[in-house]
Structure 1
């Protein structure tokens, strides 16, 4: 099954004309880990739909990163999608967390397909709805939770997802994930260790 076949099946695309258009203008690209898909303050020329891999989306201001959400297979970055409708610069950065394969669609087709094809309209609408929930969660986390709680919640979610008590991550990377500085994360982790919540090792944290 090709990348295009995976996309057609996952999005339930049955319109033959849409399939032909995607095959004609879509570009399959496999990019290495830590590659930019979108860069803040640059115009977006392509909408990337992730076929395999994972993309981290964040905003950056004064060297501080605020994680917004992740893009996983058969998803796209909704803030990139919104920018394609207005021909404006990107307000976010998007970078691969691992080797990632995407299908790139030129932006001039995005809006038109929404009017012409029901399945494409559903895909873009669902993308907005799902990402709205992710963005709302990120906003609530930043607005109402203290940094120590955000850090503990993040580590617990990683452990639960991977079914382990160990997290292989640097303090700098943790700081990026919760929107603070490495120094703050290191200080909180030391407090957690003294309280018997974690055991700290080099680039590894054990949740007790």
Structure 2
């Protein structure tokens, strides 16, 4: 707990988090939050990585951003404060450990602890910037560059230059088709940027 959030929070706040927070663990691929679900608490990520996805009317997904240790999800916070259903899906990208903070404490701590208030505002700011980058990528970048950015971010998040996602999973995250992703990956391999294997993609020089 202190390793992830000690830089933000006062000792008294860390003590309260440890008293009221509910610790949970998830394996890679587990759904943590589902679309349409009422959120009863705010997750503080201790270890691992979580991907946050949005779904369109056809059931197709779009990757919005990742959460890393020390992060929380601003869209989840908004649901908690507004007592509304989740509009995002959160999936464990790697094995994950987190602490869920009850809604009543989230509101209480905003007035009680300056560090918590700053953390909430900073989280909103950071997630908004990431959403803007996602929108910019869709609006201004071609799919080739979005795929490269996706692979680089995936390697950064997992700390592994072997990306273990199928072509279909990548297509889901980038809101496109598997055929298109396979063609672009083949092109990147031809340029010597990656190597395609049966169960993973090795990043050589992106």
TM, length-normalised to structure 2: 0.84
Number of matched pairs? 202
Q: 1:33 aligns with which of 2, 13, 28?
A: 28
Q: 1:122 aligns with which of 118, 121, 128?
A: 118
1:9 lines up with 2:6 in the alignment: yes
The whole-number CA distance in structure 1 between the counterparts of 2:152 and 2:45 is 26
Q: 1:57 aligns with which of 52, 66, 80?
A: 52
TM, length-normalised to structure 1: 0.84
1:187 lines up with 2:183 in the alignment: yes
Cα gap change, 1:158 to 1:85, in 2 (>3 Å): closer
Consecutive unaligned residues in structure 2, runs of 5 or more: none
The whole-number CA distance in structure 1 between the counterparts of 2:155 and 2:32 is 27
The 5-angstrom pairing of residues 1-208 of structure 1 reads 3=1, 5-6=2-3, 9-14=6-11, 16=12, 18-61=13-56, 62-158=58-154, 164=161, 167-193=163-189, 198-206=194-202, 207=204
The whole-number CA distance in structure 2 between the counterparts of 1:50 and 1:159 is 19
User: What SS does the aligned partner of 1:119 have?
Assistant: helix
Structure of higher CA gyration radius? 1
Consecutive unaligned residues in structure 1, runs of 5 or more: none
The whole-number CA distance in structure 2 between the counterparts of 1:27 and 1:198 is 41
Cα gap change, 1:84 to 1:158, in 2 (>3 Å): closer
TM-aligned CA deviation for residue 150 of structure 1: 1.2
